[in-house]
Amino acid sequence: MSKKKAVFLSILSAVLLLLGGTLFYFRHYFLGTSYAPISAKTNADFGIADVVSSVDRDGDGIDDQTDLLQGVRDYIATQPKYQSRYYAGGYPDDGYGVCTDVVAFGLFHAGYDLRQLVDADIRSHPQDYNIDTPDENIDFRRVRNLKVYFARTAIPLTIDIYDIDQWQGGDIVIFENHIGVVSDHRNNRGVAYVIHHANPWQESYEQDILEGRDDIVGHYRISE
């Protein structure tokens, strides 16, 4: 083999390795994260009763709490890829999404149009949101606005993650710059998992993250 050919093959190998590594690193951006079932505990393992809401907003025979969680699972089953975009209809329709969309689609499944609800609340209480020009297509997809909206309209719950029976599947948890929905799965200490969409490199939509965070600012339930 000539020296020139050997150098070429070496460079080609290096490029292919670099390309392969890059594609692997960004695989979740192109493919979405895994939604395969995870090994976890449930309420029954800790003698905790499931919370069932007395409200059935959309009249489908399924209570809000259960309906919201099912909507979230249906949404992540589509394996949305993480990217922030603006949509004329508000809700993403192209397979992309961000953290707020997990909540929005879950609520929509239960009969709550977060887009309309947040917009109406902003226009009724503009001083609470500090928004000069409301835009219903994006305002409901911003964590800072959802902090205000849920604090104003939802049922506040503890942010002590070790008060485990107070954390139920279908609850909404808000962090400083992030939001997700509480899972009905728990770790070995009974701490609830969270269904969320934080970035393109996330390994799973459903994760055991609460004990690793110190920025929980809200925990809510939409009805009781």
Model confidence pLDDT, tens digit, residues 144-193: 999 999 999 999 999 999 999 999 999 999 999 999 999 999 999 999 99
Alpha-carbon distance of 173 to 161, in angstroms, equals: 11
% of the chain residues with pLDDT over 70: 83
Here the contacts of 9-18 (C-beta below 8 Å, separation 24 or greater) are none
Alpha-carbon distance of 121 to 148, in angstroms, equals: 10
Interval 122-138: pLDDT, tens: 999 999 999 989 999 99
Residue 36 in this model has a pLDDT that exceeds 80? no
Higher pLDDT, 127 or 38: 127
105: closest CA among 124, 144, 78?
A: 78
Interval 97-117: pLDDT, tens: 999 999 999 999 999 999 999
pTM, whole model, 2 decimals?
A: 0.86
| Residue indicated by tokens 């050997």 | 6
Other beta carbons within 10 Å of 90: 21
Supply the mean pLDDT for the chain.
Answer: 89
Residue 95 in this model has a pLDDT that exceeds 60? yes
